[in-house]
Every structure is written in C-alpha cells, then in structure tokens.
Structure 1
Amino acid sequence: MPTWAGAIHEASRKSIPAGIGSEGRFVLKTIPWILTGLAAFLAWTCLFTVDRTEFVYLTTLGAHASTFDGASESQAGLHLRWPWPIQDLRRVDRRLQVLELPGLEQLTRDIQRDAIDRTLTIDAYLLWRVADSEGVDRLLRAAGGLDEARQLLAQRLGGELGAACGRLQMDDLINSKEPERVRTEREKLRSGLLASLGQPALEQYGVEVVDIRLRRVSHPAQVRQAIFDRIISERERKAAEYQSMGEQESAKIRADADREIGQMRGKAEAEVVRLKGQSEAEADRIRNEAQMKDPSFYAFLRKLEEYQRVLGDGKSTLLLSTHRELFDALLDPPNPAPTKAATPLTPVGGSGK
C-alpha cells in the first residue's frame, strides 16, 4: 500500500502538463510538499494538550479567554485553538511549591530592658500552590508568574516573621530548659503566620498557603562561638561544683564512719573492761575459796612465788640470813592437810577380800 507521501508525489507527477520545462516541473513538484508542511505547522499551532500537573491559561489577542485545569477529567487532554498570534497560552504548574527562606536574623524582645535587641537566626520554609483556575488569572495579573510570586511571598513571609518575633522573647523560641514552652510558642507563631499570610495571598495572588514551618532557630554566627565558650565555662563550673559536693559528701561519709568506729571501739573497750573485771572478780572468788580451804598451803604457794621473784632472773649467788620468815618454808615445810582415804574399789562379782 503506498504511503501518503508517495500518493502526493504520484498525484503531482500526473497533474504536470507535458509542455512544461524541468524548472516548472520542479516548482510544481515542491508545491504539494510546501502545502503539506504548512498544514502540519497549522495543525501543531492549533492543537495543544493539558497535563494533569498544570493549568493552561489561554488568551485571545492578549485578553483572557479561558483557563484549563488539568485535574479535571473534562479539561485534561487535547484541545484546539487559533494559531499564534491570535491565541496564545501559558502553562502554570499546579503542584505543591516549596519556598525556602534562607536564614534571616530576627530581633526578639528583651523584657528586662523593655527593648527589641536580642537577635536570632531563623530558617523557615513555606508550602504553597495555585488555588484554582481563578487563582491563575490573579497570579498572572498581579505577579506575572510563579517565580515572581515566589519572590513576593518570600518578602511577605520575612516581614510577617520579623513582626511576630518582635513580640516574642528569645526564651520563647530557643530554650533547652523549657522544651514544652518552646514547642507551644513555635506552634502559636506558625498559626499566626498562616492566618496573616493565607487569606491575603489568596486574594491578591491567587495562591493557597498550605503550611509554614520553622526549620531551625539558632543564635547568629558572630556570637555563636562566644555562646559555645560560655556553655563550656558553665559546664566546667558545674563540674567543679559537682566535684566540691562529692568531696564534701566523701568527708561527711568518712567522718560518720570514724564516729561509728569510735563508738564501736568505745563499746568494745568497755566490754573488755567489764569482762576483765568479771574475770578478775571470778578469779579472786576462786582464789579466796581455795585459800579458805587450806590457808597454810596458800601461804606456802605465795612464798614460792616470792622465791621465784627473788631468786629468778638468772641470779647465781645470793647471800641472805636464814633467820628470816621468808625461808621458813624451806627449813620447815608445812604439812599437807589430811585428806580422806580413798575408798578401795571392790571388784565386780568379788568377795571384797
């Protein structure tokens, strides 16, 4: 089956009269091709598609004609229009846009001096998108496009954020001791920014502000090192306080232990004295009982102890008179006290003889 190009070529060849020269034949052969290209160009300029992720803004001689929303089943797809310059179109992204707000130094309120002079660096971002078909018209008329709208929103967000921070204290936004307070104040700040930016942005630029978030809140770079040095100094001071408290506690524990040891030693020594007194009393009682049973023998034992003291310590020679009571025991030893005769044992089964 011949193609459409072959059919055009065959039709142009048959339509050329026999008396025309070679140059005329070339011109007549190219005319169908030119007409085909012109028809294709007109078809390309008169047809356009609407994607799911965009709005298409159509104008006729510069005036707004209609807006196609790709999210609509009836408006997405292929459409016809008059060729340029009669009708022109602009494509606007309908997806969620992210506006990154770089770190800006914002002033917060100092209640002690009743001034706004304490600086914080705040990084934030804003999520927004074109609201609807009417919003596209307002966007293009007021801002001119998405890039211009992004710049306007950044300026508005920076101004509103600065005004809101001026009503807050530094501790409301950055405070390690009260995290719940910081979380509450940041949520209030977010809600206030949404309320102050959402409706004006929709009415003026046709865009919907979806969300605003504070990404990071920190001290300015020029004072950050000084803050770190202060933190290190405070940590060292705290460590010294802990060390001092530990030494005091250690001294207290040692003192308590020494006191308890002294009390226990005193009780033990008192118990030793008590037991020694009891033992000595018991020894005296036993000694007295023994002395009462045989006083002469007890006196003899005492003299022997005295002999041991006098004659002991390695003495080889000692000259003393014998006419002393000390040596009576040697010259006239005492007679032992009579004892009862032992009863003889009777053999078992014996007669006793």
Structure 2
Amino acid sequence: MRDKMSLLGGALLLAIVIASMSLFTVDQRQYAVVFQLGEVKEVIDEPGLKFKLPLIQNVRFFERRILTLDTPDPERFITSEKMNLLVDHFVKWRIIDPRLYYESVAGDEARARTRLTQTVNAGLREEFGRRTMHEVVSGAREAIMDSMREKADRDARRIGVQIVDVRLKRVELLPEVSESVYRRMEAERKRVANELRSEGAAAAEKIRADADRQREIIIAEAYRAAQEAKGEGDAKAIAIYADAFGRNADFYSFYRSLEAYRASFAGKDDMLVVDPSSDFFKFMKDSGGARN
C-alpha cells in the first residue's frame, strides 16, 4: 500500500513538472515566440494560457508596446551652408513582426537599437545636408521629421520593426559659433530697426508738412471769409449811415462836429490852437449867438 502511494505521489509530481514545462502565460503587452529545436515554430500575439511541448519547445517573449530610442548626447550635423548644428532627437518604435525581428537581429533589442540609430542618423545627415540653417531651425522642422519617419520606417520594416515617430527635441549652434551668429543677428535686427525708424521719421515729416499746409490753407480761407464778411458789414454800415445822414444834411454836419469836438478835447490837458473864425467853431458860435 505504501509503495502504491509512493508511486502515485511520484506520478503526480511528474505530472506537475510536465505541466509546468508545458504551460505558459502570454501577457497582452508581449509577443510569445515558440521555438522548436532552435527554429521558430509559432508566433502568439493573443494573451492567455498557452501550451508547448516540454523539452522540445521553448518560448521567448518580445515587447509589443511602443519603445523609445533616445540619444544620450546631441549629434553633430552639417547643413548645406557648412554650418555645424547640435541635434538632439528621439525615436518611437515597436515590434510588428516578431518572426522577422528574431531572424534579423536574433531578437536582441540592443542590436535593433543600433540598427535604428544608424538608419535615423544617416537620414538626418542627408536631410540636414540639403537644407539651410534657417530652414532646419524654424522653417522645415516638421518636413524633416515627416521625411525621416517615412525613410526610417521603410528600413526598419526589414527587421520587423515599425517607426512610429521621429522627433527633434533641440537644434542649436555649436557654442563657439553661437556668439558670432547672435551678433550678426543683432546687427541685422538693428539695421531693420533703423530703417523702420527712418521710414517712420520720413512719414512723420510728410504728415506734419501736410498738416501745416492744410493749416495755412484753412487760415487763409478763414481770413478771406472774415475780410469778405467785414467788407460786407462795412458796406452795409456805410449804406445805412449814408441813408440816415442823407435825410438831414444839417444834422449830419452837426453830429460830425460833435464827434470832432469829443475827439479833440478827450483829455483835460489837451490844447488846440485854432482861429476863432474857423468853421471848426461854427456851431459854437451859432449856439452863442442864439443865446444872445
């Protein structure tokens, strides 16, 4: 009885060992590649509990999530105008064909990263070599990244990898040339600013000259209108005086004499030497004679 129990226990233990060697779990974030005697037998991309032949087959797991290839240090690239630039970039990639990935780089992520780094760097050198510094820094960055993604993806698919994105994090000049470039840019900005100031000053002078001209025209027209109004008023006044005084010539003569007297004796110290028989005193003489 004891022997049977030992035999049963051994069989159970053997079954457990065989089951542990035959069953494996595939995570949803991984690919499972089943090898049989060193050759790829099956690629499993569905998660769950799977079965393999013990001792004959073995399993390797590969990442199916998006991975990042980030350069530790900026790379130096040369533009079409022979300007050296420091470029910091990163690449997003993932495995899409585990079988081809294993056959191309033996499933070694380090080898795959090396291959992708070489591909991306070669493409960037080509792109930078066809463009000026201004295009690289500001104008054509999106175009460079799109072109690089397409070129790198075509090469990466040969090893079972897809390039999801290529991004330029930083593009800058070398420290030894940055200062001279900044000085040149500053001088250019100052030149443009001076031109704008000159144009503004010329426009201001033109506006002031036009304003002065319009002011003189307005003043002249106003003076002319005032003189015309004054002349019309004087003419009307003269006509009114002439009509009023023309109706009684003696009264008009008397009124004019009174005005002359008032103007002649305006002050207490005024002195006038005139012949008493002068017509200037005729109304005074007439007045005195009338009283006598």
TM-score, normalization by structure 1: 0.65
Percent identity over the alignment?
24
CA deviation vs aligned residue, 1:171-190 (integer Å, no higher than 9, x gap): 44334xxx5xx377436623
Could you list the runs of 5+ residues in structure 2 that have no partner in the other structure? Answer: none
Could you list the runs of 5+ residues in structure 1 that have no partner in the other structure? Answer: 1-10, 17-28, 111-116, 335-353
How far residue 237 of structure 1 moved from its aligned partner, in angstroms, is 5.0
CA contact (8 A) 2:33 2:40 kept: no
Structure 2 counterpart of 1:66, which letter? K
CA distance in 1 between partners of 2:17 and 2:52 (Å): 14
CA contact (8 A) 2:67 2:94 kept: yes
CA distance in 2 between partners of 1:133 and 1:325 (Å): 140
Of residues 323, 329, 337, the one that matches 2:277 is 323
Say whether residues 1:281 and 2:235 are aligned partners: yes
CA distance in 1 between partners of 2:91 and 2:273 (Å): 125
Secondary structure of the equivalent of 2:43? Answer: strand
Distance of aligned partners of 1:242 and 1:67 in 2 relative to their CA distance in 1, 3 Å threshold: same
CA contact (8 A) 1:57 1:92 kept: no
CA distance in 2 between partners of 1:79 and 1:118 (Å): 59
CA contact (8 A) 2:86 2:172 kept: yes
CA contact (8 A) 1:99 1:125 kept: yes
| Alignment length (residue pairs) | 285
Say whether residues 1:80 and 2:58 are aligned partners: no
CA distance in 2 between partners of 1:94 and 1:286 (Å): 114
Structure 1 counterpart of 2:150, which letter? L
Secondary structure of the equivalent of 2:276? Answer: coil
Of residues 107, 112, 128, the one that matches 1:165 is 128
Say whether residues 1:95 and 2:50 are aligned partners: no
CA distance in 2 between partners of 1:49 and 1:319 (Å): 145
CA distance in 2 between partners of 1:78 and 1:32 (Å): 27
Say whether residues 1:153 and 2:109 are aligned partners: no
CA deviation vs aligned residue, 1:139-194 (integer Å, no higher than 9, x gap): 3xx4451222112211222122212321233344334xxx5xx377436623xx52
CA distance in 2 between partners of 1:144 and 1:319 (Å): 139
| Corresponding position of 1:138 | 103
Of residues 251, 260, 285, the one that matches 2:214 is 260
How far residue 44 of structure 1 moved from its aligned partner, in angstroms, is 2.7
How far residue 331 of structure 1 moved from its aligned partner, in angstroms, is 1.1
Structure 2 counterpart of 1:107, which letter? I
TM-score, normalization by structure 2: 0.76
If asked which structure has higher relative contact order (CA below 8 Å, sep 6+), I would say 2
| Corresponding position of 1:194 | 150
Secondary structure of the equivalent of 2:219? Answer: helix
Structure 1 counterpart of 2:45, which letter? G
How far residue 262 of structure 1 moved from its aligned partner, in angstroms, is 1.6
Task: Give the superposed CA RMSD.
Answer: 3.8
| Corresponding position of 1:47 | 23
Which structure's residues are more often helix, by fraction?
Answer: 2
How far residue 226 of structure 1 moved from its aligned partner, in angstroms, is 5.3
CA distance in 2 between partners of 1:318 and 1:128 (Å): 122
Alignment of 1:1-353 (within 5 A): 12=2, 40-52=16-28, 53-60=30-37, 63-64=38-39, 66-71=41-46, 77-83=49-55, 87-101=57-71, 103-110=74-81, 117-139=82-104, 142-175=105-138, 182=140, 185-186=143-144, 189-190=147-148, 194-195=150-151, 197-203=152-158, 205=159, 207-216=160-169, 218-222=171-175, 223-224=177-178, 227=181, 234-235=188-189, 237-315=191-269, 321-333=275-287
CA distance in 1 between partners of 2:54 and 2:106 (Å): 26
How far residue 129 of structure 1 moved from its aligned partner, in angstroms, is 3.1
